[in-house]
Amino acid sequence: MNKLFGTDGIRGVVNKEVTPLLAYNVGRALGKYISVTNKGKVIIGRDTRTSGQMLECAFVSGLSSQGIDSDVVGLASTPCISYLTKQKNYSAGVMITASHNLPEYNGIKIFNSNGIKLDEEQEKIIENILLNIDEYYYNDYQNIGKIRYYPKLVDFYIKYLKNLLTGVAQNIYIDCANGATTKIIQKLFKNSKQLFFINQETDGKNINVNCGATNLNKLQNIVKNQDINLGVAFDGDGDRIMLVSKEQVIDGDDILYAFAIHNKTDNVVGTIMSNFGLEKSLEIKGINLIRVDVGDKYVIDEMLKNKFILGGEQAGHIIQGNLSPTGDGVLTLISIINMGIHNFIKLCKQNKKYPQVLKNVKVANKNIIKSQKFKDYMSICESLLMENGRIVVRPSGTEPVIRIMVEGENKKLINKIAADIQNFILKM
């Protein structure tokens, strides 16, 4: 069996890589893992994809077959499930989602009892159980796990968010990506008359389609042409956020800078994809940027290890460790509103980023970048930048693509280098 877990759980095309049988067996494997380590319940949520109910049913059946009880909340965001897992003392939390991917994808994210994504060792244990799944017996009828439907649990999370909101939201346009934050954000701000919503028609087949954090075109036009202070876009499962002001797109790097300055943070955890300009801008303020591998779980691991309270990714995962155990788009928005939108935008402008080129190359074999031939070529490309930029080429943990990032002071040069690397990979 190939490695099942990527940088953000299990993910793939529905009924091709991610099937009801896979969900059922992962449920069995998680159930067996929990039954060995402790006895307890699991909480399960899903985003708005049509395939979510199918996979949810299969997964809880697998858990039940191993004697594990489940609380099924239905539609919820990933940070909601993370929060409830910890606060309500579940043995594990499960989110059926493919995050920012299109509707034909779905996947499974698993949280431990602290609401944190499984570490690599825990993932390996579950993968090993799956390899030998047919050797595990089913529980007899007297010891089958119970399944309870408990959608009102989501309100407990919304109440937590409401208690954190101290500022006033004015002239904000929110793109819900037709996803998991739709009902949450509507309930949270139901009495506000200066919030406007788009892409909140969740039909199961339109999640992330030409909208949300990965497609800001419509939101940018609205903010540019109307009396709007800020445009906000979530991704399908609500753990990411991207923003649009009159002057710029505000990504995770900008948010980290603004939060670090506002909260007088000494250390910020980013990734190898965090812009070099963020590092330099923070350095001027006496703040350290610590880089880890791509993936919010690696950011969280570093934060926990060193008791840091702020970290995130350029793509919009923002982790405020004193408020949540994972990235939370709605929570990030609340923090922005609390600090004042105009003050926030002003701080974001101070983050002077380097020009950056991002390219995705679809490939059959992501391991080609490990070859000596490719490494030799990369050495040539890096020598062209000298010390005035960076190149990061890495396999995606969620898609069959190789991601290329080139940044530096010379726009023309970095565009050429990125295009050359892309063509080199395509010819390999």
Torsion of Cα atoms, 328 then 105 then 60 then 126, to 10° = -80
364 CB burial (10 A radius; 0-12, 13-18, 19+): exposed
Catalytic residue among 35, 61, 99, 281: 99
**Does the annotation count 70 as an active-site position?**
no
* Composition of the chain by helix, strand, coil, percent to 5: 40, 20, 35
Residues whose CB falls within 8 Å of the CB of residue 346, separated by 6 or more in sequence, listed in order: none
What is the radius of gyration, based on Cα positions, of the chain? 22
Q: In whole angstroms, give the CA distance from residue 276 to residue 12.
A: 32
Which residues contact residue 191 at a Cβ distance below 8 angstroms, ignoring those fewer than 6 apart? none
Phi then psi for 375, rounded to 5 degrees?
Answer: -60, -40
Which token pair is 270? Answer: 């980013």
Residue 339 class from Cβ within 10 Å (0-12 exposed, 13-18 middle, 19+ buried)? middle
* Centroid of chain to Cα 312: 10
Q: 401 with 363: CB under 8 angstroms?
A: yes
The set of catalytic residues is: 99
